[in-house]
Amino acid sequence: MARIVKKPSKDKINVFVFDHIFKCAGTSVAQMLHSSKVHTCHLPTASSLIRIEDSLYGMKPGDKVFLYGHKTWGVHEQLSDHYNVIYFTLLRNPIKLALSTYGYRVNTYEIEKITVDEYLATYTFNKMVGHLGGSLKNAQERIEKYAIVGVVEKINDFISILSNLTGTIFNKKFQLNVTSKSFHPDSKIIEYVNEKGGDDFELYAYKSDTKSSCFLVTDAVSEEKVIRAYTKVDDSFQDKINNLNWDEAKKIILNSKKDRYHSFFHKTKALSQFFNLSLDEEFILEVINSLEDMAIMCLSPSSVETKNVFEKLCIIAEFLNNHIFEDYTSSISRRLQNLFTFLGNTKYAEENRLCEKYHRRAIDISDQFPEPLFAYGVWLRKEGRAKEAISVLERIKNINRDKRFYTEYAVTLYIAQGQDALDEYIRSEKKEIEQVFPNLFNLKTSRRRCYLKDFQNKRILIIRSGPEMVFNDFLKNLVGIPIQLTIMIQENISIHDNPFVETVYRIPSGQFNPIENFEGKSQILSKEFDSVIMVTTDYGKIDRLANFFAFTKQIKKNEQYFYTMDNVFLSPEEKFCISDGK
């Protein structure tokens, strides 16, 4: 029997098997596999011996083949130990999978006279689990054996990792097969489905508490979960992060044993992206040598600050550039585009005025993908070129305009044209914004919501961390609510008029350091407040405000809240704060 492995080897024939889950982009992946120069074959079942033998005829150690189909699990049982079998698959957001299934069944006349709301309300969310073993436990155990478990929502990451793992260039543009009609279920149905849940939801989210060695492209691991993981290694880790003992926290990460969270990749990601800890040049070069262009998935651009590291990445970029085919949407082109975008955001490029060069090179490859346009737009806005940034962001196609786009566009429009232009834009795009922010009015979080009117007659300390426009949106909408307001804000930020502002304490611009003294620090610490409210970008990232938490825990207060960017898109009576408690 063949071994199931995670990487190909030169001493065996390598059989890459795509396990196609229904309505999870499998047809598109199959077309992409066929576009390569690697022999590719469809398998009706894992026991289709004739097809397997035909596919492997004449192969020698080190060769590779792609097999795919709906029933491919078990191929390893049909082969001898002369072969390595490497499984990979795609999962999909369960609600999107259900909608896609509904569209397919409507188009093929399998179902009639049933609305999308009725279909979702009675849909059993266990289709992916059923394919992968019948029960959630079996499905989780099986995907642990796969080399790559991707998600349709991050298909470009999946293709890049697959290309890198297999050493294969895919010449065909990846195009997701979609039904001709879009379906928009009622928001109450979506809320009902989320509350009802199902095994597919559990499987889709399966990544936080395992010690998996498979490369999960669902790898949107939050900083909070990473902190929990390293706290299991050393129970002082949380305190070291909260108290900014970065050197000690760094030692815990580097010395942790190798498993799901503490692999070389995840250690680097924790150091670089989550905690922004300094990395020496030798370590970064080791990461790049090991992961090549995939290193950008775990490195932070700010960690690339030396010429040697920057030039090493440039060498990889030029190598990829020399292997681009005429089709500029192939996977290798996407990898190069991602690498150029990363280079444009690095600290070294910023210090040497190379950012725009690499952002433009990324866009020159293709402007149909949103990431390079978005990154260039953000860079232009930060450079004080907000009007140019608007024109770049507007090149992003409507289908790719997500929450991140609307958030950035709102900030940039506010800077370029002011509050009136932003208000008009929100009014004109109300329907699209409501679709992009489906849970805005029924926010799925365990944190308690508090509307602005609920702060009436309270003593409030507001600390600005997020965009200036969010801070002033908050302050503007507090006008008319009698509150005793104290404000802690950076020196370069203007403040919207509010008659209830009693005291303003200015702190230095840039990264807030809770250890350093600033004018008024002792007065703030001597006062008592009913609530401390921190203005930030996203309620999902509030756990990253370690520097402010280190300061606010010293303040005498009853409660702590967060006012986020989401509120910019809400009417005054709907605006709210989220508590840091349950």
| pLDDT tens string 545-582 | 667 777 888 899 999 998 988 888 888 888 888 887 65
The token pair at 79 is 């082969």
Q: Choose the most confident range, by mean pLDDT, from 108-122, 197-211, 230-244, 308-322.
A: 308-322
Q: Are residues 8 and 135 in the same domain?
A: yes
Q: Are residues 227 and 212 in the same domain?
A: no
On whether the CB atoms of residues 16 and 65 are closer than 8 A, the answer is yes
Position with higher pLDDT, 509 vs 364? 364
pLDDT of residue 215: 46
pLDDT band, residue 178 (cuts 50/70/90) = low
Q: Are residues 140 and 12 in the same domain?
A: yes
pLDDT of residue 209: 37
Helix or strand or coil: residue 417? helix
* Structural domain span for residue 525: 449-579
pLDDT of residue 4: 92
Is the pLDDT at 127 greater than 50, yes or no?
yes
- Backbone angles phi and psi of 81, in degrees to 5: -80, 10
| pLDDT tens string 66-100 | 999 998 999 998 888 899 999 999 999 898 898 88
Q: What is the mean pLDDT of residues 16-25?
A: 92
**Alpha helices of 293-418 — where are they, by DSSP H?**
307-321, 331-345, 347-351, 355-365, 370-382, 386-393, 403-417
pLDDT of residue 218: 42
Answer yes or no: is 90 within a domain: yes
Among residues 340, 283, 300, 298, which one has the least CA distance to residue 316? 340
DSSP for 43-108? Answer: -SSTT-HHHHHHHHTT--TT-EEEEEETT-TTHHHHS-TTEEEEEEEEE--HHHHHHHHHHHHHHT
Asked which of 196, 216, 236 is the last residue of a domain, the reply is 216
Q: Are residues 125 and 254 in the same domain?
A: no
Helix or strand or coil: residue 166? helix
Answer yes or no: is 228 within a domain: yes
Q: Note the pTM of the prediction, 2 decimals.
A: 0.59
Give 277's DSSP letter: -
pLDDT of residue 216: 47
Answer yes or no: is 39 within a domain: yes
Mean pLDDT across the chain = 82
Q: Which of 199-208, 243-252, 260-269, 370-379 has the lowest mean pLDDT?
A: 260-269
Asked which of 253, 278, 303 is the last residue of a domain, the reply is 278
Q: Are residues 201 and 270 in the same domain?
A: no
Neighbours of 472 (CB within 10 A): 20
Answer yes or no: is 373 within a domain: no
On whether the CB atoms of residues 15 and 38 are closer than 8 A, the answer is no
Answer yes or no: is 370 within a domain: no
Helix (H) or strand (E) holding 532: strand 528-535
Q: Are residues 118 and 251 in the same domain?
A: no
Q: Are residues 500 and 467 in the same domain?
A: yes
pLDDT of residue 208: 34
Asked which of 216, 235, 258 is the last residue of a domain, the reply is 216
Answer yes or no: is 518 within a domain: yes
Print burial letters for 77-92: b (CB count within 10 Å at least 16), e (below 16). ebbeeebbbbbbbbbb
| pLDDT tens string 331-378 | 677 788 889 999 999 989 998 899 999 999 999 988 878 889 999 999
Answer yes or no: is 437 within a domain: no
In whole angstroms, what is the distance from residue 468 CA to residue 492 CA?
10
Position with higher pLDDT, 516 vs 87? 87
Is the pLDDT at 441 greater than 50, yes or no?
no
Q: What is the mean pLDDT of residues 169-189?
A: 66
In whole angstroms, what is the distance from residue 350 CA to residue 327 CA?
31
Q: Are residues 58 and 148 in the same domain?
A: yes
Q: Are residues 139 and 71 in the same domain?
A: yes
Q: Name beta bridge partners: 85.
A: 4, 15
pLDDT of residue 16: 95
Q: Residue 564 maps to which CATH number?
A: 3.40.50
pLDDT of residue 217: 44
pLDDT of residue 294: 79
Position with higher pLDDT, 386 vs 58? 386
The token pair at 149 is 């478990």
Q: Are residues 48 and 172 in the same domain?
A: yes
Is the pLDDT at 405 greater than 70, yes or no?
yes
Helix or strand or coil: residue 440? coil
| pLDDT tens string 211-231 | 333 444 444 445 666 777 788
Q: Are residues 64 and 26 in the same domain?
A: yes
Q: Are residues 115 and 240 in the same domain?
A: no
Overall domain count for the chain: 3
The alpha carbon dihedral of 328, 331, 332, 333 has a sign of: positive
Answer yes or no: is 285 within a domain: no
Place of tokens 């490497």: 86
Q: How far is CA 203 from CA 143, 144, 217, 499, in A?
A: 10, 12, 13, 52
Is the pLDDT at 447 greater than 80, yes or no?
no
pLDDT of residue 180: 47
Q: Residue 184 maps to which CATH number?
A: 3.40.50.300
